[in-house]
Structure 1
């Protein structure tokens, strides 16, 4: 089968398609015939060597949308042909989801949303699970206020929608040209990048990784959630500082997929590329102003 890998660290030019053996599912695992897979910032970080792994071939890709191809012992409830989405967690791994087939733990997959095609569904797993977990960690109650930085991005945009659904009053911080977009997602207030909100908020979900600058907008005793371990600001004024670490959670992913089908959650795809053009997809990922997920499609 074909799989997207890097053998040396660097820019998009290091991304290539290689031949690999079709993986076999073990007990409690399923094999997915990949139809589409998101290209995420973490893939760019892996490619650049942020997580190590020098001297070995590294497979790329975390998100997947496709169909069950085979199931190992203990996972036979996932019948072949069933459409699914899933998350293949792992920063340095020999094979990722940017391939024709991938093996996942059965607990990491969920029925795919029925209202969208595979390319759109592939934008859900990593961004959706990240946004949902970050909001849970904030621990805010209905009626509380939240500032979401990077609100026009893939994670931030889903976080806006989930926060509104949770009854929070959402202020969205994004680029000057993104006001119409973030308000369409449900944000009550808009703050252009580089500006400050009118007052303090109960919590900040810092999808733009602003760090201390975002923490300054939180009231004393409020909450701050970051997305990148090690990039969080120092604690001050009694503000609770938490960094989320995404996990493969099929049950939560199923809940998010159901929200897509109900119309409560909108997924956005910026551009699609075939598997052979994975290097071009990485170049598009790095382009400024990308709104929505870059997706690889696999025929």
Structure 2
């Protein structure tokens, strides 16, 4: 039986005005899939890149939204981890080969999901998956060990704050940069030592260097990360879509990691690792060792305005969108 519902979708690539409310049809969940009644969709910068055509990975339905939280409505063949009524969250779609979260209902692979943390409002869980999975991926790629120092360029954003608190939980010493003193206080509230972006050049001039560095910006942020890296250091970035001067990477024999957590969805492989990351996150939140992110709530009808706010640089916190069809 076909499921009829409302969604926000892009009819084509372009500006924020290509996003429109449309009726869509969803199939019943297939083998390994579940049907989610969406409580909230998380906004991520990659949504704007897909919409603008800068990342050619748009879902066939045109419905964006990687991050979702909601309730299981139905399960497909072979799904035993979840039952109807379960509260779940995950980075579960919004790219080619998957449905998106900007809808009343969403079909998702069960492997990508985890039980939502008890005690956290379900809609707030939609702010976490991409940021948290990215942080866990960077921890693994950088081979971070308890007692090591890590510098995060852009520590007050969603990925930066998740990285700061997860790394602190695992016994690392975290320092990172932020754009103003209020955001430095956020970094410190999550367990890190904060510096202004403008102070990074001073750190470099003073000879301060780090063996592990994470860049959450790309562009000038990655260049800053390369400058802060010690010889033979490891540097990870979540945005390598640009042309860069890698002379410092060569001169210091750096190892550079590109973090792109949507690749398992696009390749339809190792998707269970995403669910495993979120189960670890859920356990940390329920134990009181980790917490959610500062966020702003919108309705899904605000999606075009939200894209415009991000692209104009006026979106200051993580955003979630609630169904308001």
- Mapped partners of 2:318, 2:187: distance in 1: 16
Query: Number of paired residues?
Result: 298
Which structure shows the bigger proportion of residues in helix conformation? Answer: 2
What residue number does 1:184 align with?
189
Partner of 2:26, secondary structure, is coil
Is 2:12 aligned against 1:8?
A: yes
Contact in 2 for aligned 1:68/1:79 (Cα 8 Å): yes
Q: What is the distance in 2 between the residues matched to 1:269 and 1:92?
A: 29
State how far apart, in whole Å, the 1-side matches of 2:192 and 2:21 are: 41
Q: Is contact 2:38-2:105 (8 Å) kept? A: yes
The whole-number CA distance in structure 1 between the counterparts of 2:82 and 2:190 is 34
C-alpha displacement of 1:176: 2.1
Give the deviation of 1:63 after TM superposition: 0.3
TM-score norm. by structure 1 comes to 0.92
Is residue 2:107 matched to residue 1:103?
Answer: yes
Q: Report 1 or 2 for greater relative contact order, CA contacts < 8 Å, sequence distance ≥ 6.
A: 1
- Evaluate the alpha carbon distance shift between residue 233 and residue 134 of structure 1 in structure 2; reply closer, same or farther with a 3 A threshold: farther
Contact 1:68 1:78 in 2 (8 A): yes
Q: 1: CA distance between counterparts of 2:71 and 2:294?
A: 20
Residue 276 of structure 1 corresponds to 301
1:76-96: per-residue Cα shift (whole Å, max 9, x none)? 441100000111245345731
Would you say 1:143 and 2:147 are equivalent positions? yes
CA distance, structure 2, for counterparts of residue 25 and residue 165 of structure 1: 37
Query: Which has the higher mean CA deviation after the structures are superposed, 63-72 or 179-188?
Result: 179-188
Range that drifts further, 222-231 or 113-122: 222-231
Compute the RMSD of aligned alpha carbons: 2.1
Distance 2:118 2:148 in 1: 33
Contiguous gaps of at least 5 residues in structure 2:
265-270
The answer to whether the Cα contact below 8 Å between 2:69 and 2:126 also exists between their aligned partners in 1 is yes
> Residue 217 of structure 2 corresponds to which residue in structure 1?
208
Report the CA distance between 1:144 and its aligned residue. Answer: 1.3
Given the alignment of the two structures, is residue 218 of structure 1 paired with residue 243 of structure 2, yes or no? Answer: no
- Aligned equivalent of 1:240, options 250, 255, 272: 255
Q: Distance in 1 between matches of 2:61 and 2:106?
A: 16
Provide the rounded CA distance (Å) in 1 between the counterparts of 2:106 and 2:114. Answer: 15
Distance 1:75 1:260 in 2: 25
Q: Which runs of 5+ in 1 are unaligned?
A: none
264 and 102 in structure 1: CA distance in 2 versus 1, 3 angstrom threshold:
same
More divergent stretch after superposition (266-275 vs 90-99): 90-99
Aligned equivalents of 1:200, 1:23: Cα separation in 2: 53
